Structures are given as structure tokens and as C-alpha cells.
Amino acid sequence: MPPRGSTESPRVGVIVVAAGSGSRLGQPAPKAFVDLQGRPILEHALLPIFGLSAAVQVVVVAPAAQLAEARAMAHEVAGVAADFVTVVAGGPTRQASVAAGIAVLEPGIRIVLVHDAARAFTPTSLFETVIAAVEGSGSGVIPGLPVADTIKRAVDGIAVATVDRSELVAVQTPQGFPRQPLADAYATATAEHTDDAALYASAGHPVIVVPGDPLAFKITTPWDLRRAETLASSAPDVAREATRTGVGIDVHAFDESSELWLGGLHWPGEVGLAGHSDGDALSHAICDALLSAAGLGDLGERFGTADERFANAHGEVFIAETVRLVNEAGWAIGNVAAQVVANRPKLAARRDELQRTLSALVGAPVSVAATTSDGLGFTGRGEGVAVVATALLRPLPPQVRL
């Protein structure tokens, strides 16, 4: 590890915990070995990990009695990349199983993802998002989804209060961490924690939330397994229902008398942009790309200048409403890419912040590039900013529509 002659020495380790018994599922085999449309749950869970663009060490933590079975399965999924796989026996609790996985990480591993095998349909993109967020922030990273249900606090069967939902997230895996602080936190943990992030945070380390994915749900009960079967059997249909792309362009002129807002961020000291709202051409182009991909018209049509809600509104207001419309129409956002054409502001110094902010608003990876137009045209003369954006949407399976 890595294979002889290879230069691919992984910096990322993905620990897939699969050593639980699955008592709530109530099948004779341990949960990870239960069949789901012709493949064990563990195989489904491993497949997307081998879609990652850079090599990772894949650590499978299996029940002691199923080690050989798990090894054969992991090697089959890995194919020619079998040398990147390590299989180890788990412990009596999830925490003990994660610790067993940490113990066999290769010395070169710097970032560790911990993932439940029971989240069998977690897409490659969520692993990529978590890895990038650990790299960018140096913090622990957890994927979270907004809580859709109203949550009440109940005492003795009486609803005593409604909890503010806006502060709540439903947490998923993979959860990502810098290796050394995670290993130290595990080595010194004295209590059982409900997830890796809780253990990590109890050692005093920061944890940030990135957008989760509805497909990363956990198979816990017989109903969950049945739902997973339905999703797996309809997957080819979902793939055939083509993904869709869209394009959006926005242009605003510089306006010396206003402050600059671009990509939902304030840019102190920079000349602002003219417009009915704050002139945030980057946010507007992203909205247009999303609306275009969903076939929902464009910004002007959806957010008319007569609508008071959007007078002087910042980009985040437009993006939040656009994302809501797109989801409501049955689309999940795959990713968004935007390019800013302007002499100023210079984006490089704040690109990470910009991408993080926009990704959080959109709920999917947003990449932002910038260029000048070599002195040509209105952008070259410094009269304004132009932005081009594209978006990729995929259909939400009916079962996970919001």
C-alpha cells in the first residue's frame, strides 16, 4: 500500500464501519451483509467510494465472524485497486469499531472520513464535499440536512414547547476530520458518544456543517430497507430521466455611489454595482442557471421588480428562493460553476470564502472562477461586471422529494 511502483500515496482514509449486528433490522445476517437488490448493503456502500478522483485508503470494519467475507467483498468492489483496501474486525460498540479502523490507517493519511456502511446510497459527491471542507477548514466536518418536521419538546406525553427548527440539522456520514486530533480524541475518550463529531467536539475541536444529501439516509429498520429496494430498483429510470443543465448570464454596471455585494459577500472598499437589488451579478447568474436548468423561466420573470420582497435584497434572498423553487419542482442540485468577467474585484484572496458561502446557500458544490477580458469590451474598460454560470440538476427520486 500503495501498489508497488505507484506514486499514489493516499492522504485520505475512509473508515467504513460495518461491524454492527443490525438488531433493529432484525435479519439473520449482520446488517452490512443483508441483500439489497442482489448486492449486500456493504457493497452498495463501497461502490461510490471508488468513484473518488484521488486515491484513498478504504478501511472496512467488519464483524469478527465475517472478516473473510468482508475482505472478499471489498476486494471484488475494489478490483485493480484492491491494495488500497484494509479490512479489520470491529468492536462491541460503533465507537470501538471506529477506533479499530483508526488503528490501521497508513502513516501517510492526513484526513479521515468515518462512514456508516448502512448509508448505502451516499453519493461520491458527498465524500468529495466533506474531503474538500476538511482540507479547506482544518476543522471536523459533518454533512447535515435541514429538519423538515416541526420538532416539539415533550414531557410525560405533553408537548411543552416547539423547538426552533432553523437551528437544527439532521446529521449524516461521512464525517471528516484531520487525522491526528481525531486519533488523539479517540485515544483519550472516556465516554460513549452518539457520533464521531460529538467525540471530536468533546475534545475541544471545532466542527462545521456542510450540506448533506437525501440519498445518504441510514438503513435502520425493515421499512428503510424496503425503501432502499425501491430506490435501487428505480435507479436506472432515474438515470434515464436525463440530468439537466442550465446557463445564466448577468451584467451590472459599476456605480460609484454604492457598496459592492458579490456572491452574497460584502466587499468593503470596492466600487459597487447598480441594480434594483444590490446588483450582485454572481448570485443572479447562479439563480438564472438554476431556473434555466429546471425550466422555470428566469430571474426577471420569477422576481419581478414590482415585488417588494426583492427591492434592495441581497443575493442570498434570491438564491434561497430559487433553491426552494428548484427543489419544489423535483430537482436536486448537482453542482454550480460560475465565471466572473471583470477587472475588479480580484477574487483570488476570497475565493474559498466565496465558494463556501455560495455552496452553503445552494446546498451543493459551487465553484467560482474569474478572468479579465484582456482590455476588450465593457468589462475590459472597467465599466461593469459580467458573470456566466452553469448548473447541473438531477431528478429527486419521488421517495425523497422535499
Nearer to ligand CTP, 21 or 137 (CB): 21
Instruction: Tell me which of 18, 77, 145, 366 binds ligand CTP, using CB under 6 A.
Output: 18
86 binds ligand CTP (CB under 6 A): no
Stretch that binds ligand CTP, among 16-24, 242-250, 260-268, 335-343 (CB under 6 A): 16-24
Choice from 12, 15, 19, 58 touching ligand CTP (CB under 6 A): 19
- Report how far residue 127's alpha carbon sits from residue 355's, in angstroms, rounded to the nearest whole number: 17
- H helix or E strand, kind and range, residue 388: strand 384-395
In angstroms, rounded to a whole number, what is the distance separating the alpha carbons of residues 276 and 131? 39
383 is written with which cell numbers?
A: 465599466
| Minimum CB distance to ligand CTP smaller for 29 or for 82 | 29
Among positions 66, 86, 97, 283, the unique one binding ligand CTP when judged by CB under 6 A: 97
Judged by CB under 6 A, does residue 335 bind ligand CTP? no
Residue 94 binds ligand CTP, judged by CB under 6 A: yes
- Using the rule CB under 6 A, give the single segment among 2-10, 25-33, 203-211, 362-370 that binds ligand CTP: 25-33
Decide if residue 61 touches ligand CTP (CB under 6 A): yes
117 binds ligand CTP (CB under 6 A): yes
Q: What is the separation of C-alpha 383 from the centre of its chain, rounded to a whole number of angstroms?
A: 37
Q: Which residue has the cell 437589488?
A: 277
Size of the site for ligand CTP (CB under 6 A): 23
Which residues is 367 bridged to in the sheet? 337
Q: Are 124 and 49 in contact (CB under 8 A)?
A: yes
Q: Please, are residues 17 and 93 in contact by the beta-carbon 8 Å criterion? A: no
Cell numbers given for 363: 446546498
Residue 260 to residues 64, 165, 383, Cα–Cα distance (Å)? 60, 32, 14
In the numeric block, which cell numbers belong to residue 20? 454492527
- For ligand CTP, the binding residue among 6, 23, 305, 399 (CB under 6 A) is 23
Residue nearest ligand CTP, Cβ-based:
20
85 binds ligand CTP (CB under 6 A): no
Angle between helices 315-328 and 351-362 (to 10 degrees): 40
- x/- string (CB under 6 A) for ligand CTP, residues 187-226? -------------------------------x-x------
Q: What whole-number distance in Å separates Cα of residue 26 and Cα of residue 382?
A: 67
Stretch that binds ligand CTP, among 19-27, 47-55, 122-130, 331-339 (CB under 6 A): 19-27
Is the Cβ–Cβ distance between 59 and 15 less than 8 Å?
yes
Give the nearer residue to ligand CTP in terms of CB position, either 91 or 334: 91
Stretch that binds ligand CTP, among 6-14, 23-31, 228-236, 389-397 (CB under 6 A): 23-31
Separation between Cα atoms, residue 236 and residue 218, nearest integer Å:
21
Longest CA–CA separation in the chain, Å: 72
Instruction: List residues near ligand CTP by CB under 6 A.
Output: 17-25, 31-32, 61, 90-94, 97, 116-118, 218, 220
